[in-house]
């Protein structure tokens, strides 16, 4: 009976089925990745239970076939090596998955950082009595993608009531909405256009932000809610718009760089337009709210893009608020203020990494990066500065720091931060050793077969 089971598990037919199954599974994974992204593919396929089941079946099949061929002879060496190699490699991968660290560390220019962001997400709640000194009252690792809060409600009971995660959107597009409100500041939406160019902008003032400036290429636009428009030209092409409380119309002024041109002044109402006198550009006032507020709403989308993000809706005593990934929202109750966080978990290193210098080499005459490197200093490390470049990682206290990418100021193109991938891999040497055995085994199989097969080849010149 035992023999029969081994024979079945060791059968080549079974192995072919398992290999084909594995092919199909990971092919589905790549398709999901192309349609969504790597995270979704990992969650749905690469780390799903069927993947583990197939891998387990593979390992059992690989083991049984070796048991079945026992005692091994020298001609078995190649296949035994390759099979043991695969098992060791998979074991290494398991170790990496269970005990490895794979995160990223962002260090701004001339600053220090020690928080390594990892892939796992958490939901946490902080409470404060007087608006400061927040203390953590709840923390839990969550995966809303696989276990949605609609089906597995997440509730946190607080002194002020039950805090609940109501909804989860995997791809939510944040949308800025400006709507009339009471006791708020003015907002305008204007357009500057001719038949070739078109700029449309919202400008929303707040009680603390009463002067809003925007540089639009041909001219600078300034929206004022408390200050007065300057009485003299500023020596540049500029448009000023001023809102006055209780007034339906805005005051405007158009200044010209050319000092000889006369400043245009007047009033404009919602829907009105003024010719600016620059290459046929017209200024239109599309909307004017004397009192408005700015809110973000999240629109569900089908697929991930660079603009959308994960978002959850949280409620406390019926008041609902949206919260996007790696962001915080506050709930104000008469006694306590709650800060709710949803985002990636962070692991604090035992030391600070300081970014001293960051250099980019670019391809001739372009902004395309050719290479980049960071000069860092680890606090408390006596050996001095380290240079981290592509393919030249820094090894420190069992961790390896790789130069992963960088962030640049979109306006100037200057780098503002360097991003490292931080890594600890206990399975590394198993993977390398397993790989080595696989390669040796594969080449030996080929070598052995060649000798055997040459004898049975048909004569040359057969055609």
Partner 1 sequence: MIKQCWFFLVFLILSSPLAHSKEDVLASLKRLPIQEGGRIKPLDTFARESLALIYGKETYEHKPAIEVMMTWALEPQIWETKEFVEIRYNLVKKALHFEETQNYFTLKKILGNDRLSYVLQELQSKRESKAKLDPYFQALQRLEGQMGVFQSIASGDLLHLVPPDKSETSPSAPWWGPSRWTPEQREAFGQVNRSFVKFLLALSPNKNISEDELRQLKENMDKSVTQFSALARANNLEKYPDYSRIDMELTYTEWHPFQKAWILYLCSVLMIICLWIFKWKKFYFLSWLFASAGLVAHLAGFILRIYLTGRPPVSNMYETVIWVSFGAMVFAMAIESIYRWRFILLAGALVSAFCLILSDNAPVILDPTLQPLEAVLNSQFWLTTHVLTITISYAAFFLAFALGDFGLYFYFKGESEQDPKLRAITLSIYRAMQIGVALLAPGIILGGVWADYSWGRFWGWDPKETWALIALLGYVAVLHARMAGLLKGFGLVASAVVTFSLVIMAWYGVNFILGAGLHSYGFGAGGVEYVAGFVGLHLVAVIFIAVLHQSRQKMRKH
Among 231, 259, 412, 463, binds partner 1 (CB under 8 A): 463
With 0-12 / 13-18 / 19 or more C-beta atoms within 10 angstroms meaning exposed / middle / buried, residue 6 is middle
CB of 12 to partner 1, least distance (A): 3
Q: Does 421 bind partner 1 (CB under 8 A)?
A: yes
Residue in 122, 120, 121, 118 with CA at minimum distance from that of residue 423: 118
For partner 1, which stretch binds (CB under 8 A), given 17-25, 331-339, 347-355, 409-417? Answer: 17-25
Among 2, 208, 259, 366, binds partner 1 (CB under 8 A): 366
Q: Could you tell me which residues are beta bridge partners of residue 268?
A: 250
Instruction: Characterise 215 by phi-psi region: left (phi > 0), alpha (psi -120 to 50), beta (else).
Output: beta
Query: Of 19 and 129, which CB lies nearer to partner 1 in the complex structure?
Result: 19
Q: Does 279 bind partner 1 (CB under 8 A)?
A: no
Among 307, 350, 411, 452, binds partner 1 (CB under 8 A): 307
Query: What is the token pair recorded at 157?
Result: 């009971």
Q: How far is CA 298 from CA 39, 41, 246, 345, 377, in A?
A: 21, 24, 33, 23, 41
What is the number of other CB atoms lying within 10 angstroms of the CB of residue 64? 19
Q: Does 393 bind partner 1 (CB under 8 A)?
A: yes
DSSP state letters, 154-187: EEEEETTEEEEEEEEEEEEEEEEEEEEEEEEEEE
For partner 1, which stretch binds (CB under 8 A), given 39-47, 199-207, 260-268, 408-416? Answer: 39-47
Q: Are 315 and 341 in contact (CB under 8 A)?
A: no
φ and ψ at residue 229, rounded to 5 degrees: -70, 135
Residues 78-107 that bind partner 1 (CB under 8 A): 93, 96, 102
CB of 439 to partner 1, least distance (A): 5
CA angle 163, 166, 181 (to 5 degrees): 85
Among 197, 248, 379, 439, binds partner 1 (CB under 8 A): 439
Query: Of 310 and 425, which CB lies nearer to partner 1 in the complex structure?
Result: 425
CB of 22 to partner 1, least distance (A): 6
**Dist. CA 149–CA 340, nearest whole Å:** 15
Q: Does 177 bind partner 1 (CB under 8 A)?
A: no
By the criterion CB under 8 A, which residues form the site for partner 1?
Answer: 11-13, 15-16, 19-20, 22-23, 26-27, 29-31, 33-34, 37-38, 41-42, 46, 93, 96, 102, 303, 305-307, 361-366, 368-372, 390-391, 393, 400, 402, 404, 421, 423, 425, 428, 431-432, 435, 438-439, 442-443, 445-446, 449-450, 453, 456-463
């Amino acid at each position: 009976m035992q023999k029969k089971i081994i024979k079945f598990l060791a059968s080549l037919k079974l192995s072919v089925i398992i290999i084909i199954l594995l092919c199909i599974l990971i092919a589905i994974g790549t398709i999901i990745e192309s349609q969504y992204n790597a995270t979704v593919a990992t969650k749905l396929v690469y780390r799903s239970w069927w993947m583990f089941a197939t891998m387990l079946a593979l390992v059992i099949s690989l083991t049984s076939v070796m048991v079945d061929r026992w005692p091994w002879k020298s001609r078995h060496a190649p296949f035994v090596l390759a099979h043991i190699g695969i098992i060791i490699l998979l074991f290494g991968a398991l170790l990496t998955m269970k005990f490895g660290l794979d995160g990223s560390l962002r260090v701004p220019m001339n600053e220090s950082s020690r928080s390594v962001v990892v892939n796992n997400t958490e939901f946490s709640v902080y409470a404060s009595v007087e608006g400061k000194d927040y203390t953590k009252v709840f923390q839990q690792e969550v995966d809303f993608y696989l276990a949605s809060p609609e089906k597995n409600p997440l509730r946190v009971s607080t002194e002020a009531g039950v805090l609940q995660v109501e909804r989860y959107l995997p791809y939510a597009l944040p949308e800025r909405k400006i709507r009339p409100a009471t006791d708020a500041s003015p907002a305008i939406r204007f357009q500057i256009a001719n038949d070739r160019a078109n700029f449309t902008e919202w400008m929303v003032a707040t009680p603390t932000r009463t002067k809003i400036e925007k540089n639009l290429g041909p001219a600078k636009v300034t929206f004022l809610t408390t200050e007065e428009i300057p009485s003299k030209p500023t020596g540049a092409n500029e448009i000023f718009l001023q809102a006055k409380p209780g007034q339906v119309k805005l005051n405007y002024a158009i200044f010209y760089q050319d000092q000889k041109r006369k400043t245009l002044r007047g009033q404009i109402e919602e829907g009105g337009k003024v010719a600016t006198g620059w290459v046929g550009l017209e200024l239109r006032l599309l909307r004017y709210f004397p009192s408005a507020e700015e809110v973000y709403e999240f629109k569900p989308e089908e697929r991930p893009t660079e603009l959308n993000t994960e978002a959850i809706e949280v409620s406390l005593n019926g008041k609902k608020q949206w919260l996007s990934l790696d962001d915080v929202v506050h709930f104000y109750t008469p006694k306590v203020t709650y800060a709710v966080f949803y985002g990636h978990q962070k692991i604090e290193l035992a030391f600070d990494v300081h970014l001293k210098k960051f250099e980019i080499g670019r391809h001739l005459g372009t902004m395309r990066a050719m290479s980049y490197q960071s000069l860092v200093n680890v606090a408390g490390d006596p050996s001095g500065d380290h240079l981290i470049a592509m393919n030249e990682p820094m090894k420190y206290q069992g961790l390896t720091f790789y130069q992963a990418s960088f962030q640049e100021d979109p306006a100037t193109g200057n780098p503002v931060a360097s991003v490292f991938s931080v890594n600890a891999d206990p399975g590394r040497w198993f993977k390398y050793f397993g790989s080595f055995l696989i390669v040796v085994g594969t080449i030996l199989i080929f070598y052995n077969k060649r000798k055997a097969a040459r004898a049975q080849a048909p004569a040359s010149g057969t055609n």
